[in-house]
Amino acid sequence: MNPSQSVPENASLSPVQHYTPGYVGVKLIMIGLGLGLFIVGMAYLWTPLRLVMWGNRAMAEATTVTKTKKGAPDIVLKDDVQVKASFDPRDRSHVFWNEFRFQTADGRVVNVRATVGSQLKPLYSLINGDGLPTTDLVFYDVKQPEIVVFPLIISTWFAAGVLAGGGLLMMFIGSVLLYWARKPIELPHLPPSVIPLGK
């Protein structure tokens, strides 16, 4: 830089500069990916949401626990003593499934399995703290009561909700970026004292 070079008198009248972000294609891809995540999440959420909104509700009673392992026969555990005896904290290859029974509005008794299983131990004990069978809220399809959802089990909603919510967020951010992609943004005007004078 030549320190002796002076700033022209009309430097303050220099035209305002603008910057256009561009990269429209990248923003469109981002929106598309967000839409894909949202669709996948909603595909998993559709049945639970449909049952909660339009299905019938009932209180299901825990009856047994089924311990499953790929390639091995299922083991049915009929009380909490058997369930606790089957725990093995070092073995994560087994999955415990709570089995429930509930009665429909027309008096039909239906046996169903919880929609979410658990490693190491079941989600529910068979007997609650009052010594009574454990119960949980269930929504079922009126025409096919074997199709159920347990809305109080967080895992029913968590993964699919994260996908759908993440997709919405990605679409929103991508849409904002796309909106500004073709908009010229005025750059801040620099006073002559900070403008480089040359090299």
In the predicted model, what is the mean pLDDT of the chain?
Answer: 87
**What is the crossing angle of helices 158-181 and 24-54, to 10°?**
150
Give the mean pLDDT of 79-98.
Answer: 89
pLDDT digits (tens, 9 = 90+) for 64-74: 999 999 888 99
pLDDT at position 90 is 82
Closest to 83 in 3D by CA, of 24, 123, 29, 139: 123
pLDDT digits (tens, 9 = 90+) for 35-66: 999 999 999 999 999 999 999 999 999 999 99
End-to-end CA distance of the chain: 4
Confidence of residue 4 (pLDDT cuts 50, 70, 90): very low
Lowest mean pLDDT among 36-40, 87-91, 145-149, 185-189: 185-189
pTM over 0.85: no
